[in-house]
Structure 1
Amino acid sequence: MSATVSFSVPSPLGPRTVTLAYARVGSGEPLLLLHGIGHHRQAWDPVVDILAAERDVIAVDLPGFGESPALPDGLAHDLSTMNAALSGLCEALDLDRPHVAGNSLGGLLALELGREKLVRSVTALSPAGFWSPVERRYAFGLLQAMRAAARSMPLPMVERLSRSAAGRTVLTSSIYARPGRRSPEAVVAETLALANAQGFAETLRAGGSVQFSDDVPGLPVTVAWGTRDRILVRRQGIRAKQIIPRARLVRLPGCGHVPMNDDPALVARVVLDGSR
């Protein structure tokens, strides 16, 4: 079930109220799920039921994405603010150092939470921040093109394309290696989520100076990369392993940038193993 929670976050202009939308299901140790830029919490739908058999799963819409409003004036969509917002979410929901799994931007945020020792374990799927300058420019250019395409297409066109596997490939092949597996309804919803994401431009702008360069000692870390990732190429996983030498590096054969859709059973197993 969808819900919202509001809490206070400090800013240079004084405390600001942040509101986040989330869905919660299952039982067991808490597991926080974080999506990528331009997406929404439903990116995790293919694996939620598997995870919920062993975990108390909380899938959240990041600020300015999905059903969560953009951050209020005085708060930037940068890493420190996102850390504060996610820490506030955990406190508001009484989550004591949850496990966390994130994809893309969410993977970077998960690693940041791990670096701050705010979580029990980290599973990062194609996390941002391990790029070279050329790779970052390529990824940002592709993301901006995807956003422009989503905003330019009338809803009837999106709905018509979503009804066929070929049309779903047109709409989502940048993020999925197996776009035909995504349901028409999900493809329409995530295309609209990308088009309407209030936090997209500011979050992407803040990411221009991001480079993850710190180890994450003292807790289990898993970094997993799809072999068919077209946005953040898989050699970035090698860099992640060099920076976080104790991390478990896992390849996801046949998976794209958002692997939860491409191989739900494999991704769920990687997340659960990482949180054990």
Structure 2
Amino acid sequence: MNHGGIVYERLGRGEPLLLLHGLGHRRQAWDPVVRALAERYEVFALDLPGFGQSAAPDPDHPFGISAIVDTVQAWCESRGLHRPHVVGNSLGGAVALELGARGLASSVTALAPIGFTSALEMLGSRLLVGGMRVATRVPAKVWHTVIDSHPVRALTTLALHGRLRDPRGGLSRLDLAVVTRGSAYTRLAPEVVRYSFGGGRGVACPTTIAWGEDDRVLPIRALARVLAAIPHARQVRLMGCGHVPMENDPATVVEVILRTCRTTPAVPITDPAPAA
């Protein structure tokens, strides 16, 4: 489905629940958990602006985390979704928390969200971003050969899943389109590595921060900073999971999400119609 330039999948009935993917990913990242969640909720898995099938803002327009939050907020308002439950991974986790800080979420479940790691811990990510910038100046055929090589695929798999085999038994591949010059990834990545979540005290809704023990992209040490930023947040350590835990252990991730959602009273699916 496409609404307001945002492409999404909708499944199930009940209170609304948004699923927001990470940087360079797409809505299909949630495939391992979406059907289980749809047994209890009306689930919306979104392609964030510039990723998957959703269009990126015009190059002349601002494109950053705040702009993405604004877009998701406007999308919810245009559909009449009132304070949905919001679940996000990595970049999507930060968007979920920012929506919570604006009072726009009934609950927030953030899986390894950006915004809590130190400058030193982000060094690897900064080097990766620099490498991606160089890559945009390399002929596409050469770059495709590099990213499809066994060593690069092995390192990608290790970074995302904390092991040298992904949950499907193979090796992960980078999406070549993601790292082309002017792509949403290359426009957004520099801000992502600098971003620090500062709205913790404003997140009043039930909040869970869950982190994979084997996350090689954003170290689990960042969990220690979450409590200082969001004192009431529940912290969950996900054993045997990497940076994309819904692929490593979908059953546990579903339970983490459901437990967070169950701590809130029921919310209307849409805003009530105005009185006649």
**TM-score > 0.5, shorter chain as reference:** yes
Deviation at 1:201, TM superposition (A): 1.3
Give identity over the alignment, percent. 42
Residue 9 of structure 1 is matched in structure 2 by none
Contact 2:207/2:233 (<8 A) preserved: yes
Contact 1:142/1:231 (<8 A) preserved: no
The count of corresponding residues between Structure 1 and Structure 2 is 253
Q: How far apart, CA to CA, are the structure 1 residues paired with 2:69 and 2:152?
A: 37
Residue 229 of structure 2 is matched in structure 1 by 243
Residue 4 of structure 1 is matched in structure 2 by 2
- Which structure 2 residue ranges, 5 or more long, are not aligned? 263-276
Structure 1 residue 57 and structure 2 residue 43: aligned? yes
Deviation at 1:204, TM superposition (A): 1.2
SS in 2 for 1:153: helix
Q: Could you tell me which amino acid in structure 1 is paired with residue 196 of structure 2?
A: Q
Deviates more, 1:74-83 or 1:127-136: 74-83
Q: 1:125 aligns with which of 92, 108, 111?
A: 111
Q: Could you tell me which amino acid in structure 1 is paired with residue 175 of structure 2?
A: T
Deviation at 1:209, TM superposition (A): 3.7
Residue 15 of structure 1 is matched in structure 2 by none
Contact 1:61/1:67 (<8 A) preserved: yes
Residue 9 of structure 2 is matched in structure 1 by 23
Q: 1:271 aligns with which of 250, 253, 257?
A: 257
Distance verdict in 2 for CA 1:104–1:136, change over 3 Å: same
Deviation at 1:83, TM superposition (A): 1.6
Residue 183 of structure 2 is matched in structure 1 by 198
Deviation at 1:167, TM superposition (A): 9.5
1:1-276 equivalent positions in 2, closer than 5 A: 3-6=1-4, 19-142=5-128, 145=131, 148=135, 152-154=143-145, 158=148, 169=154, 171-177=156-162, 179-182=165-168, 187=172, 191-192=175-176, 194-195=178-179, 198-214=183-199, 215-276=201-262
Per-residue Cα deviation, 1:33-65 (whole angstroms, up to 9, x for no partner): 111111111111111111111111111111111
Per-residue Cα deviation, 1:95-116 (whole angstroms, up to 9, x for no partner): 1111000000100110000000
TM-score (norm 1): 0.82
Contact 1:122/1:222 (<8 A) preserved: yes
SS in 2 for 1:181: coil
Q: How far apart, CA to CA, are the structure 2 residues paired with 1:187 and 1:138?
A: 19
Contact 1:31/1:101 (<8 A) preserved: yes
- Which structure 1 residue ranges, 5 or more long, are not aligned? 7-18
